[in-house]
Structure 1
Amino acid sequence: MTARPEQYQAALARAAAHAHDWLAAVPDRPIPPRADADELRTRLGGPLPAGPTDPAEVVDLLAREIEPGLMTMPSGRFYGWVIGGTLPAALGADWLVSTWDQNSGMRYATPGTAAAEEAAGAWLLDLLGLPAGSDVGFVTGGTMANFTGLAAGRQQVLTDAGWDLDRDGLTGAPRIRVLVGAERHATVDLALRYLGLGAPTPVAADEQGRLRLDALERELAAGSGPTIVCLQAGNVHSGAYDPIGAACELARRHGAWVHVDGAFGLWAAAAPATRHLLDGHHLADSWATDAHKTLNVPYDCGIAVVARPAALRAAFGTRASYLVHAGTDSPGDPHERAPELSRRARGVPVWAALRSLGRDGVAELVDRLTRHARALAAGLGAIEGARICNDVVFTQVCVDFGSDERTRRVTGRLLADGTAWMSGSHWQGRDVLRVSVSNWSTDEADVAASIEAVRRAAAA
């Protein structure tokens, strides 16, 4: 049966109406959800009906029953877990991606989306100061971006050691040393587990979470064989950056592959005021970032960049008789740059975000997020009993309130108040209230309201 346009009309009209209602409610809506998953499961579950339901009615039912369980993550007063909002152009592009329904693994089959992603990739390399000619893969998020870069690294260091990973697998292979800062993000360990590389060797970090060069030098000298060094661009608590350029030079002397986890912090390279935080980052071999964080693209959209395309394509490229492969003169197929054959065109909203902002707009976005983080730190630090625990170099702020017990109480009261959302965490041996400024729509009024909400929670 051929689908007719009118079959979609009512369902899409209802979806658009609900989307507009949601966006209109976001500025004033309390942040926490009003119902838990068990309650909502009862509403949404039960026996599957035997017969069909009108599509427009299904959309209405879904919107009505899920709404109480939505957290207002797009709010300018949401600072939890380094989650950004969604730029208007990126949201519009994401709607089109679903409508077009292109399986974007093959360049031949989907030249439109492939071209948009290739253009976005070239813009990203330029904006972030990464080597021209690097491969750019669009993956689900920061975890898979780390997985992708580290998979390319695993492929290359074993090849350099004379081991054929494709033929012989990991059994009996030379053990790969993976050196990471003591305060790396948990997704690095997760990606290493996926790759069968086991637990990494932690390298001592300073009080802001930055990997120490002297400790890295000792660890590199203490062993030999295939080695990967994983660096951090933006500590999840302090926002601090490892000394990336100097660490790359050390690692290169030992023949190591260098991967940079820059889930939110790699975007500092797009703004002149923060670019110095990443000095020398172009010397690495692979980088991971997440467009739904600092760039404010809808879920899901991680980005993996690899300076040695041959290693990446050896890790993920495949051949099958039914696939139509890109020609030798082309940039290659999208599926060679990511661990998926089938996927949505998640790089298209990245193209839309970058095209709508332009070079200056991306820099201004990064500057604005950093400025709001500093304003929040100043305001929170002025609350009686509060102490800012980190040097605010980018978009992260951590604050405690004198004792772990009081910090937990203040955090609980703040979240119950609903005006702003700042996640609790534990860092450097103490409980903290953690602030991640990631939303393009956060403004001075949001900052002021958020500071006042914390002040109320502390006073209570």
Structure 2
Amino acid sequence: MNSGKTTPEPMRDVALGPLFQTAAAHALRYRSHVAEAPQRPSRDFMAMLATFAAPLPETGAEGPAIIDQLARDAEPGLHAMTGPRFFGWVIGASHPVGVAADWLTSAWGQNTGNHVATPAAAAVEAVAAGWLLDLLDLPRECSVGFVTGATVANFVGLAAARHEVLRRAGWDVEAQGLFGAPPISVMIGDDAHTTVFSALQFLGLGHDRVIRVATDAAGRMRADAFRDAIAPLSGPIIVICQAGQINTGAFDPFAEIIALARAKGAWVHVDGAFGLWARAEPELKGQTGGIEQADSWATDGHKWLQTPYDCGYAIVRHPEAHRRAMTIAASYLPPAQAGERDPSHYVPELSRRARGFATYAIIRHLGRQGIAAMVARHCRVARIIAARVVAEPGIAVLHEVTLNQMLLRFGGDGAGADDLTRRTIARLQADGICFAGGAAWRGSQVMRLSVISWYTTEAEAEIAADAIIAAWRAVKAGANFRDWER
């Protein structure tokens, strides 16, 4: 029965100009002033939940009004992740050229499954994949999957590894699963990132069923410990190395480890979420020596390349193993012929965002030299901050700063240093001039800084160092001097 109400025609229901212009105006205002605002949210989760909580709307509202309210309500709960002094986690700043390309990606609304459905998106991915291999100087025959981030990139690389080591043992894991399969030995450094353990869990290899290899003071796998651990192993083996330890930025000794792994027929995967980008900077590239001999690599675009979230890359030396581990086939999906590339053959999803456009745009904008200069600048900024703060009595930098990561500790080695470090972090965050978080390292509380925002310059390094020193002095002034000195 007709209720008398009519359904508006979709294109007439929403006025595109006012809607998109409203969103663009809010985005421009936010990004133009983020450096001046506190580098932290002004409201916490519970406050934001109270702001947004409401019954399900029974009727709709005008688009521009919704966008206005969304911007007004959300901004107090946003971290300044696109700001110049945000060092809390390894989070890139979403370069404006990438953001603009990502706006187009959303407006185009392309579901990047195959080359017939989205010729432009598939072609751009193919070109950007080649550029990435060139920038990172990895074997040019590698296949590249554009995924959500390093977590899924690790999953994809290790799925290809699982396929190949079991194929060599005469087992088809995609068809038969793991029931009755030859056991796989997985070797990993003691200070590997938690997301790698998640990938092992998702693949049915177990996050605890691994051989953990001892690490040195900076979190690198020790080659001698690896040699001892791999010596008695036989059968399928997967070795997981790390490029850029999340706390110290350290790199595993790839050449030694990979040579030992090769002798056992192992597949070597590298978690290089941010550290793999050291290969884009000539003076830093030496820290990654031997990494190009691995079988697969995981890295992020939304960290050092500054693409908008989400974007990561799964890179595999053996494209056939990559495709067999990932390909989704159906009669309604057009096959890829010679020279054609289906994006879905290299990632877990059939339906997904066209991440290649933003990657392509940023690489076109910065070029090889611009990317190298950015990576070098961030590492230089990290060294400037470290040199400034370590000159202040009571502040220690716990390792040599060789990349963009650093750990600070406040109040010496006494019993009260953990509390003083926590309080200094809290004071720094409350001041809002820069943002850094805390972590546990070797049984002690530390302040952890990651310098990776496109907007962070040497001048911002001085402001950040002053803020850290001021926070420490304020905490120290409120504490018993002899307590923190002990």
TM-score by length of 1: 0.98
In structure 2, give the amino acid aligned to 1:65.
D
Relative to structure 1, the CA distance from residue 441 to residue 305 in structure 2 (aligned partners, 3 Å threshold; closer, same or farther) is: same
The amino acid of 2:455's aligned partner reads: S
Q: For 1:391-412, what per-residue CA distance to the aligned partner results, in whole angstroms no more than 9, with x for missing partners?
A: 1111001111122121111111
How far apart are 1:4 and its partner, in Å? 5.7
SS at match of 1:112: helix
Q: Give 1:347's aligned residue.
A: 356
Offset at residue 324 of structure 1 (A): 1.5
1:375 aligns with 2:389: no
Deviates most, 40-49 or 185-194: 40-49
Residue of structure 2 equivalent to 1:61: 69
Q: Residue 399 of structure 2 aligns to a residue in which SS? A: coil
Q: Give yes or no for the alignment of 1:394 onto 2:394.
A: no
Residue 204 (structure 2) aligned to one of 185, 196, 202: 196
Instruction: Tell me which residue corresponds to 2:250.
Output: 240
Structure 1 residue aligned with 2:309: 299
Partners of 2:62 and 2:397 lie apart in 1 by 54
Counterpart Cα distance in 2 of 1:19 and 1:204 = 47
Q: Which residue of 2 aligns with 1:315?
A: 325
The CA distance in 1 between the partners of 2:79 and 2:378, in whole Å, is 21
Cα separation, 1, equivalents of 2:174 and 2:272: 29
Matched with 1:170 is: 178
8 Å CA contact 1:289–1:304 kept in 2: the answer is yes
Q: Secondary structure at 2:15's aligned position in 1?
A: helix
Q: Which residue of 2 aligns with 1:205?
A: 215
* Residues 1:219 and 2:229 are matched in the alignment: yes
Q: SS of the residue aligned with 2:187?
A: strand
Identity of aligned residues (%): 46
Taking structure 2 as the reference length, the TM-score comes to: 0.93
Structure 1 gaps of 5+ residues are: none
Equivalent in 252, 262, 273 of residue 262 of structure 2: 252
8 A Cα contact 1:108 1:325, kept in partner:
no
Distance 1:427 1:40 in 2: 32
The corresponding residue for 1:412 is 426
Kept after mapping to 2: 8 A contact 1:102/1:110: yes
The amino acid across from 2:366 in the alignment is L
Give the Cα–Cα distance (whole angstroms) in 1 for the partners of residues 455 and 222 of structure 2: 36
The answer to whether structure 1 residue 421 and structure 2 residue 429 are counterparts is no
> Does 2:112 align with 1:98?
no
Query: Which residue identity is paired with 1:89?
Result: V
Partners of 1:107 and 1:325 within 8 A in 2: no
Alpha-carbon distance between aligned partners in 2 of 1:422 and 1:409, rounded to the nearest angstrom:
12
Q: Which residue of the partner structure matches residue 289 of structure 1?
A: 299
Q: Is the 8 A contact 1:270 1:363 kept in 2?
A: yes
Structure 2 gaps of 5+ residues are 1-8, 475-486
- Alpha-carbon offset, residue 180 of structure 1: 0.5
Write out the 4+ residue segments of structure 1 that deviate beyond 3 Å after TM superposition. Answer: none
Equivalents in 2 of 1:109, 1:48: separation in Å? 35
Whole-angstrom CA distance in 2 between matches of 1:357 and 1:316: 31
Paired residue type of 2:255? G
- Give 1:338 shift: 0.5
The number of residue pairs the alignment matches comes to 459
Contact 2:382-2:403 at 8 Å conserved across structures: yes
Aligned to 1:179: 187
User: What is residue 460 of structure 2 aligned with on the other side?
Assistant: 446
- The letter of the residue matching 1:245 is A
Report the structure number with the largest CA radius of gyration. Answer: 2
Corresponding residue number in structure 2 for 1:358: 367
Q: Would the alpha carbon gap of residues 430 and 331 (structure 1) be closer, same or farther in structure 2, given more than 3 Å must change?
A: farther
- Whether the aligned pair in 1 keeps the contact of 2:128 and 2:359 (CA below 8 Å) is yes
Residue 331 of structure 1, CA deviation: 4.2
**Separation of aligned partners in 1, 2:84 and 2:78:** 15
Letter in 2 for 1:342: S
Amino acid corresponding to residue 291 of structure 2 in structure 1:
H
